[in-house]
Each structure stands twice: as structure tokens, then as C-alpha cells.
């Protein structure tokens, strides 16, 4: 590839401006790609809301009790006989 020959500073400035805009375009494309990837990896808003509520409920003393009791309650529901 032959180096470009410039006859004035205006041509150099013009090409630099084009390169600067191309750089900004590629940067914005990269940011958009990152945001789309992040949205596909992390849960959506309703799931995040559920997680926030879950985190609040299971924190503190009540949360400790629920974390201990919940597996026993679930196994009781699963193993109970029908008709009881």
C-alpha cells in the first residue's frame, strides 16, 4: 500500500477528522454490542425485582430461620400423602 501524499494541511485535517469519526463509530458499535451481551446474560427487570425481594426477605434473623426451615417445608410438601 502506497502512502498517501498530501498537498496541504487541509487535506491532512480532513483525513484526521474522518479517522476520528470512524473511531467514534466503532467505539459506539462496541458499546452497543456490550450492552446487548449484558442484557442477554443478566436477568430482565422482573427477575431482578424478584431477586431484590428475595434478598430482602432472606437477610437478617428471619432469613436465617427461613433458610433453615424452607428445605424441611418443601420436603414435607413433596413427601406428604395425598388425602392428609
pLDDT (tens digit per residue) in 19-39: 999 999 999 999 999 888 877
Return d(Cα 32, Cα 39) in angstroms, integer: 11
Angle ∠(14,4,24) on CA atoms, nearest 5: 40
Query: For the chain, how many helices (H) and strands (E)?
Result: 3, 0
Residue with the bigger pLDDT between 84 and 37: it is 37
pTM to 2 decimal places: 0.47
What are the boundaries of each domain within the chain?
A: 1-42, 43-84
Amino acid at each position: 500500500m502506497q502512502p498517501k501524499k498530501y498537498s496541504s494541511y487541509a487535506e491532512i485535517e480532513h483525513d484526521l477528522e474522518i479517522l476520528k469519526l470512524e473511531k467514534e463509530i466503532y467505539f459506539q458499535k462496541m458499546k452497543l454490542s456490550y450492552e446487548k451481551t449484558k442484557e442477554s446474560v443478566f436477568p430482565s427487570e422482573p427477575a431482578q425485582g424478584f431477586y431484590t425481594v428475595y434478598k430482602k426477605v432472606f437477610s437478617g434473623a428471619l432469613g436465617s430461620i427461613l433458610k433453615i426451615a424452607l428445605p424441611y417445608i418443601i420436603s414435607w410438601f413433596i413427601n406428604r400423602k395425598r388425602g392428609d
